[in-house]
Amino acid sequence: MTMQRRIAVLAAVTALSATLVTAAPALATPGMSSPTLRKEAPIDLHIGSASWGARDLTPYDPKNPTQYQQILSTQFNSITPENDMKWDATEPAPGVFDFTGADAVVRFAEANHMAVRGHNLLWHNQNPQWVMDAYKSWTCDQAKAVLKDHITTVVGHFKGKIYQWDVANEIFHDTWDPNAYDANGQLRLRTDQNPFLYACSSDPVGLLEDAFRWAHAADPNAVLFMNDYAVEGINTKTDAYYALAQKMLADGVPLGGFGAQGHLDLDYGFDNSLQANFERFAKLGLQVAITEADVRVRVDANGQPINPADVQRQADYYGRMLQACLNVPQCTSFTVWQYTDSKSWVPGVFPGKGYATPYTADYTPKPAYYTLRNLLAEATPGRSPRVPMGS
Point out the residues that are catalytic: 170, 292
Among 261, 314, 335, 357, binds ligand 9MR (CB under 6 A): 261
For ligand 9MR, the closer of residues 222 and 375 by Cβ is 222
Helix axes 3-23, 309-326, angle to 10 degrees: 130
Alpha carbons 53 and 376: distance in angstroms, whole number? 27
Among 99, 339, 345, 370, binds ligand 9MR (CB under 6 A): 345
Does residue 126 interact with ligand 9MR by CB under 6 A? yes
Cα-based angle 33, 332, 196 (whole degrees, multiple of 5): 130
What is the three-state SS of 78-144? Answer: EEEECCCCCHHHHCCECCECCCHHHHHHHHHHHHCCCEEEEEEEECCCCCCHHHHHHHHHCCHHHHH
For ligand 9MR, the closer of residues 40 and 82 by Cβ is 82
CB of 80 to ligand 9MR, least distance (A): 9
For ligand 9MR, the closer of residues 82 and 209 by Cβ is 82
Among 82, 209, 232, 341, binds ligand 9MR (CB under 6 A): 82
Does residue 125 interact with ligand 9MR by CB under 6 A? yes
Site for ligand 9MR in 212-231 (CB under 6 A): 229
Under 8 Å between Cβ of 120 and 85: yes
Does residue 258 interact with ligand 9MR by CB under 6 A? no
For ligand 9MR, the closer of residues 230 and 240 by Cβ is 230
Alpha carbons 211 and 194: distance in angstroms, whole number? 14
For ligand 9MR, the closer of residues 120 and 371 by Cβ is 120
For ligand 9MR, the closer of residues 20 and 226 by Cβ is 226
Binding mask 283-312 for ligand 9MR (x = CB under 6 A): ---------x--------------------
Q: Strand pairing partners for 224?
A: 165
Q: Strand pairing partners for 223?
A: 164
CB of 246 to ligand 9MR, least distance (A): 24
Does residue 83 interact with ligand 9MR by CB under 6 A? yes
Q: For the CA atoms of 196, 198, 201, 207, what is the dihedral angle to 10 degrees?
A: 10
* 228: phi then psi, degrees, rounded to nearest 5: -160, 170
Does residue 334 interact with ligand 9MR by CB under 6 A? no
**In the complex, which residue's CB is closest to ligand 9MR?**
345
# binding residues, ligand 9MR (CB under 6 A):
8
CB of 82 to ligand 9MR, least distance (A): 5
Alpha carbons 248 and 19: distance in angstroms, whole number? 48
Binding mask 165-194 for ligand 9MR (x = CB under 6 A): ------------------------------
Does residue 84 interact with ligand 9MR by CB under 6 A? no
Cα-based angle 274, 275, 281 (whole degrees, multiple of 5): 95
- The upper half-sphere exposure of residue 332, i.e. CA atoms within 13 Å in the direction of its Cβ, equals 21
**Could you list the residues that contact ligand 9MR (CB under 6 A)?**
82-83, 125-126, 229, 261, 292, 345
